[in-house]
Amino acid sequence: MNDFLTIHCHKPGLQTTVQDAGRTGYQAFGVPVAGVMDGIAAQVANQLVGNSPTSPALEMTLLGAHFSFSGHGQLAIAGADMSPTLNGQPAPMWTTFSVKTGDRLIFDRAQTGCRAYLAVGGKWEVTQWLESASASPQNGAELTPDSVVGRGHVIRVLPHEPIAPLMVPPEQRPHYPTTQVVRVMAGPEFGRFSGSEIARFFSQSHPVSAQSNRMGYRLETHLPACPDGREIISSGVVPGTIQV
């Protein structure tokens, strides 16, 4: 199989972008890793179509997009349930399926979760910057503008040889509750906060702000300043770091 599969976007939804594993090795230069927001869903979707787990995929946030296709290819959808339909019938999730010329794939609002991923088996024709096609603005400028999907947008994928269809069993699929419990590790400044402040922090929920981005989640909760009045010196962070 060597004919391109062309993806046509008719409605982009709320925010639809091309995302992959991001840009590693450039944080010292002020470039965040960014990439997919739900790494597990994106990786699984890619593996269901025979791609590398780090390959590009279309990421849709809260409200999905409308697509049609020219050519043949294998697709997989993972992540948030946006009630996808293929030619008016329910499209499978967490499962390999095929499309052909004229097929229409439509996503609605997310019923559970926040972001859905559409993977397409093959090599994507997308612009890269620092070894990644991920859309991620830097200093107000989008350095991979082709990765921001709008009405009329076209993406071409060169399919590889079809694979035997795969499926993630229902009992192994992630659940997306509205409240998540996350684990944290104490950092070097942890002991500078009082026991009561620490207890209060861990005893309440922390809504995630709409101001969040691919660099980090912003919490709406008021967090106390460092009690001894000294500034906390900026330092390197790892995924999961809570900055006050």
Q: Which of 33-42, 58-67, 70-79, 134-143 has the lowest mean pLDDT?
A: 134-143
Q: For residue 136, which of 53, 81, 59, 77 has the smallest C-alpha distance?
A: 59
Asked whether the predicted pLDDT for residue 140 surpasses 80, the reply is: no
232 or 158, which is more confident: 158
The yes-or-no verdict on residue 211 having pLDDT over 70 is yes
- Give the tokens for residue 238: 């790892």
Query: Exposed, middle or buried: residue 61 (CB in 10 Å: 0-12, 13-18, 19+)?
Result: middle
Return the residue matching tokens 């950092």: 187
What pLDDT shows up at residue 139?
53
pLDDT of residue 110: 97
For the residues 11-39, what does the mean pLDDT come to? 91
**Cβ contacts of 220-227, under 8 Å, gap ≥ 24:** 224/193, 224/197, 226/189, 226/192, 226/193, 227/192, 227/193, 227/194, 227/197
What are the tokens at 205?
């929920």
**pLDDT number for residue 196:** 85
What's the maximum distance between 2 C-alpha atoms anywhere in the chain? 66
Least confident of 73-82, 90-99, 127-136: 127-136
pLDDT of 237 over the 80 cut: no
Q: What mean pLDDT, rounded, does the chain reach?
A: 89
Residue 39 to residue 53: CA distance in whole angstroms: 9
Q: What is the pLDDT of residue 109?
A: 98
Structure tokens at 33: 């890793």
The residues with which 73 forms a beta bridge, in sequence order, are 99
